[in-house]
Chain A
C-alpha cells in the first residue's frame, strides 16, 4: 500500500553548475521542491533554469555539468547515487519526458509503432507481438482513430498534434510514476493543444501519477496545473497554488502577470518588467 502523502519526487538544495572558460556558471541554484500525485507547473523565462531542472531530475545534464544536491530522491531511489545502469532502468520506464516538438524528438527513420514498442521491448523484455498489441491499445487510448494504420507511419507523415499524442503514448506505455513535460504544447495550435492536454490530464488522473509541466505560458499553467513553481535566474522565487496565481506576491511573478496582454483586463500599455538584482539572490 503506497503512502499517499509520500512525495514521488523529493528535491533538496539542487544546484547545476557548468564550468566555462570564464568561471563556473550556476544554471540552477539551491532549489527544493516535492512532487506528489499532482500536476506541478514550473514557469520561467528563457534561461531561468526550468528545463535544466527537468533534465537534472533524469540525470540528463551534459557531461561537463556538475550536479549538487542534499537530496534527489525518486520514490525509494537516490538519484544522486544511482549508477548509469540503474538510471537507464528508470528513464523512460519510471520517469518519462515529453519534449516540445515531436518533429525533432521522434526518430525520423523508424515507424511510430516500432518506436513506441521499443520502450516496452527494452524495459519489460516482452515479445514483439505482445508489444504490438500494447502499442495499438495505447494509441487507441490517446484517441488515435485508426491505430493499425498509424502504427506503420513515419513521423513525417503525421501532424503535429498526432505526433505529440504518439509521444504521450510512448511515454506512458511503460506505466511511469512521474512525467516531465517540457513545453509539450508550445508547437501546437490552440484547438489541438486542448485535445492533447485533455488526453494528458485524463491519463495523469487515471493512473494517479505525478506531472512536472515546464512552460512559459502563465495562462496555460494556471488553468492546467495544481501547483506552480516560479523560477527566476536559477532560483525558485515563489511556489503557489495554481488557483492563487493571480494573487502572487513576489514582484517578479507580479511583473510577469502585468506584462501579459489580457482579454479579460485589457490595458492600454503593458507594464514592462523592471528586474531587481535581489531576485537572483537567495
Chain B
C-alpha cells in the first residue's frame, strides 16, 4: 500500500490574463515510512507541490490519494490533520507573541482534542525540550529550539506524514545535525512518512530513500539514495546539483 500517491498533479497561478504554470503534471508514489525528497532551485515548484499536498495551495488539477483516500478540494478535519508542515525559518513561522504552550495548544483547539496539557507535555518531550519551555516566547529560544517547537506543533495532531520545507537551511551546521538526527529518530519511533524539500543534496541523501529532481515544474529524474551516493545519476542537472553541494569547482587552471 502506498501512503501518498500523486498522479498528474499540475498547479498554475494566474494574475489577470497571464497564467503561470508552476507545476506541470508530476506523478509519484511514497510508501509508508519512506522519506521522499524534492530538490531543485528556487522557483522550480518544489514548495508548491508541498503546498498542494498540505491543502494550502488550492488551485491544482490532477489526482492524489493520501493514506488510501482520494483527496477532493474540500478536506475533512481528519484528512487535514494527517499531514502537517514544518517550515524553513523558525523565526518567521512561530507567532512572536504567543508562548510555546499557546502555539502548541492552537491545533488541539481547532481540531477539538482533549487532554490538551498532557499532549503538550508529551510532544515537547518527543522533540527533546523540557516541559517548562511551554512558558517561553520564541525570542527566548535559540534557532534550534525554535525549530524543535515547529516540529512539535506539526506532531501534536499525530499526523502520518510530515511535509518538511527546507527544515534545516536556516540553521548552523551543528544545529542542523541535531535536527536531522531528531527527524530520523521520530521517523522510526512514530513510523512517519516524510516529504523533504531541500536544495542541499547532502542533506537529502542523508535523510531520503528516493529523491525527485525538479526543474521548471517537472521531474527530470527520480533517483534512489544509493544512486546519489554512487554518483550514478541519469540526468545532467542532477549531476550539477551534486557537484554544487560539494563546493566550488575551479574552472581556471593554476594561479
Q: How far is the CB of B182 from chain A (nearest CB, A)?
A: 10
Residue of A nearest to B180 (CB): A270
Contact call A263/B246, Cβ cutoff below 8 A: yes
B191 within 8 Å of A (CB atoms)? no
Range for the number of chain B residues in contact with chain A:
35 or more
State which of A160, A198, A223 has its C-beta within 8 Å of the C-beta of B247.
A223
State which of B143, B174, B229, B248 has its C-beta within 8 Å of the C-beta of A259.
B174
Chain A: interface secondary structure?
Answer: helix
Q: How far is the CB of B149 from chain A (nearest CB, A)?
A: 18
> Which of A60-68, A114-122, A187-195 is the interface stretch?
A187-195
A7 within 8 Å of B (CB atoms)? no
- Considering the complex, which residues of chain A in the window 72-104 have a beta carbon less than 8 Å from any beta carbon of chain B? none
B201 within 8 Å of A (CB atoms)? yes
> Which of B9-17, B65-73, B130-138, B202-210 is the interface stretch?
B202-210
**Which residues on the B side are within 8 Å of A45 (C-beta)?**
172-174
Contact call A273/B42, Cβ cutoff below 8 A: no
1/0 contact string of A196-235 vs chain B (CB within 8 Å): 0110011001000000000011111111100000000000
A256 within 8 Å of B (CB atoms)? yes
Q: How far is the CB of B251 from chain A (nearest CB, A)?
A: 5
- Assuming A45-B172, A272-B178, is B251 touching A198 (CB within 8 A)? yes
B245 within 8 Å of A (CB atoms)? yes
Residue of B nearest to A206 (CB): B252
- Considering the complex, which residues of chain B in the window 192-234 have a beta carbon less than 8 Å from any beta carbon of chain A? 199-203, 205-206, 228-229
A19 within 8 Å of B (CB atoms)? no
State which of A194, A216, A260 has its C-beta within 8 Å of the C-beta of B202.
A260
- Considering the complex, which residues of chain B in the window 111-167 have a beta carbon less than 8 Å from any beta carbon of chain A? 143
1/0 contact string of A38-65 vs chain B (CB within 8 Å): 0000000110000000000000000000
Residue of B nearest to A221 (CB): B247
- Assuming A260-B173, A263-B228, is B178 touching A224 (CB within 8 A)? no
**Which residues on the B side are within 8 Å of A259 (C-beta)?**
173-174, 176-177
B92 within 8 Å of A (CB atoms)? no
- Considering the complex, which residues of chain B in the window 32-75 have a beta carbon less than 8 Å from any beta carbon of chain A? 41-42
Q: How far is the CB of A43 from chain B (nearest CB, A)?
A: 10
Question: Interface on A for B, CB 8 Å cutoff?
Answer: 45-46, 160, 189-194, 197-198, 201-202, 205, 216-224, 255-256, 259-264, 266, 269-273
